[in-house]
A and B are shown apart, each in its own frame.
Chain A
């Protein structure tokens, strides 16, 4: 039976049929693979919450600038900076608006179940792929399901450019993406990662991280002959966190370097198409859809 591949977008303006572009690349790389791609669209939820809390788009942007993002603005052209700012604004919408995090997680979790119902698929034959902020919401959603039924029923989870390593500068106000996992009260980051990685079979969990992608890595850009990290918050996992993931679920982290550490390449280095064409993804995807090596 064909593997159902449910893909989840990140930030940006995504149409409901965003998954078609993903499918085209996956098909090109796996022409003989027996799988079906469907999209888990949640753009409307982010917009609904952003509309409810417009201060994120207005005054709060100044607060973010006050955290030191002004340096980033100097490095990037205005268009690229707007994209980066929009990303962090969407992260804030998702994580900083109190019960809205719970609301979005609940709604996305329900949509995932509806997708499976509509496709007539079982979770055990379903592979989940998330990119960017979608690579945050998917772990949250499957963890919510795990809390309810005692295990994660999906065959596998692939996270492209996951901002899960991001550390909040004010964790008591804005949760870390890891701290926003439902029901992890009292657990530290290493405990959360340990518990999450242990829930998967070996080979079922994959995180793909481009070292030159500012969303999931602390990229240093050359400024006046000196390598500078212009973003004041930590985006990438710490070494100890990567070690935990690797120890608890061997082979779960793939780090690579693609694209120049150039402020003009910030968007390109985060592009989902870059990740979908990586050989690391080819291997993980082939394994999880049961494709012969």
Chain B
């Protein structure tokens, strides 16, 4: 809206963009196309008996589609409506239709036929406008998943428990179309880790321990979009955080310390930066505190090899 009629309009538009920012806001349906859809669906609803009897649900669905399409049509007809807003409303209409279709109960043969005609004949010219956005979202989500799970700093191997936890909780799992400060195109920047890893004490002793550790990490995602030369490829732009820090988080664990007197219990709390964790450790038997360093990706050992002798390593 170039000149909002009311003072809060800009706020509304801004919040809409925040809630459902499209991956690629392309063309939007013209008023004439929306009129065609509305006429077709009204025609389908007119085929229902009055009262609709067992076809009440399909009637409500068709009427709801006409109402939504009319709202969209009026929006499209307004010279003040900007394209991104219209696009977002088209996506909302689509989400409404999907939900309404999924919640339809038993249909009569007539109801099924009318639903098919609305879905397979009337809707596609409108739904087609969302195709570019769909492809863009695939490109971007794939790139984000690969950054989160398959980049060099992430351990090459994970485990079932991690997989389960990361798919179990809303904070951690991806959500199609859902935006939040910690999400990028629905992919959550948070990630739980549950791993067994070696640590080397670096103060008071140079003993080695193995910890069973859990953690909550935050991934700094790069800015991801479609490559201008190839819409099926991702264009990834790192900032300082996503390039240098990549991931950071807090961890806690317990394990066995292998000192001179045999294994003993070791408790630890720490902070992870990329694949390296710095631990504050506590030995209950000795009531001794220490510092330790660990790596969640064993390949980092190769990089650390030159300095490991200073910490009791090979």
Interface residues of A (CB under 8 A from B): 48, 51-56, 60, 96-103, 106-107, 109-110, 113-114, 117, 144-151, 153, 173, 182-184, 187, 191, 195, 198-199, 201-202, 248
Contact = CB atoms under 8 A, between A and B. Distances in A.
Contacts of B146: 103
Contacts of B131: 149
Contacts of B311: none
**Would you list the 3 A-B pairs with minimal beta carbon distance, nearest first?**
A98-B167, A98-B163, A148-B134
Given A96-B160, A117-B232, A153-B124, A103 B101 contact: no
Interface stretch (B149-157, B235-243, B249-257, B263-271): B149-157
Interface centre among B135, B146, B168 (most CB of A within 10 A): B135
Interface in B216-241: 232
Given A98-B167, A99-B163, A150-B123, A106 B98 contact: no
A138 B146 CA distance: 21
**SS class, residues of chain A in contact with chain B:** helix
A150 B130 contact: yes
Given A102-B145, A110-B135, A195-B101, A150 B127 contact: yes
A53 B149 contact: no
Nearest to A199: B119
Given A98-B166, A103-B142, A110-B139, A151 B120 contact: yes
Contact of A97 (B127, B150, B163): B163
A110 B98 contact: no
B174 interface: yes
Contact of A52 (B123, B126, B149, B167): B149
Contacts, number: 119
| Chain B: interface size category | 35 or more
A100 B162 CA distance: 11
Contacts of B135: 110, 113
Interface of B: 94, 97-98, 101-102, 104, 107, 112, 115-116, 119-120, 123-124, 126-128, 130-131, 133-135, 137-139, 141-142, 145-146, 148-150, 156-160, 162-168, 173-174, 176, 232
Contact of A60 (B145, B148, B160): B160
Contacts of B130: 148-150
B160 A102 contact: no
A109 B134 CA distance: 10
B124 A54 contact: no
Contacts of B158: 52-53
Contact of A173 (B107, B138, B164, B232): B164
Contacts of A53: 157-160, 163
A199 B124 CA distance: 12
Contacts of A187: 102
B127 A149 contact: yes
B163 A100 contact: yes
A195 B104 CA distance: 8
B142 A198 contact: no
Nearest to B131: A149
A110 B163 contact: no
B163 A198 contact: no
A98 B173 contact: yes
Contact of A198 (B112, B165, B167): B112
B232 A110 contact: yes
B119 A151 contact: yes
A55 B160 contact: yes
B149 A103 contact: yes
Contact of B145 (A103, A182, A183): A103
A213 B225 CA distance: 44
Nearest to B124: A151
Given A53-B157, A98-B164, 20 more contacts: A52-B149, A52-B150, A52-B156, A54-B157, A60-B160, A96-B163, A98-B166, A103-B145, A110-B135, A110-B139, A113-B232, A146-B98, A148-B94, A149-B131, A151-B119, A182-B176, A183-B176, A184-B102, A195-B102, A198-B104
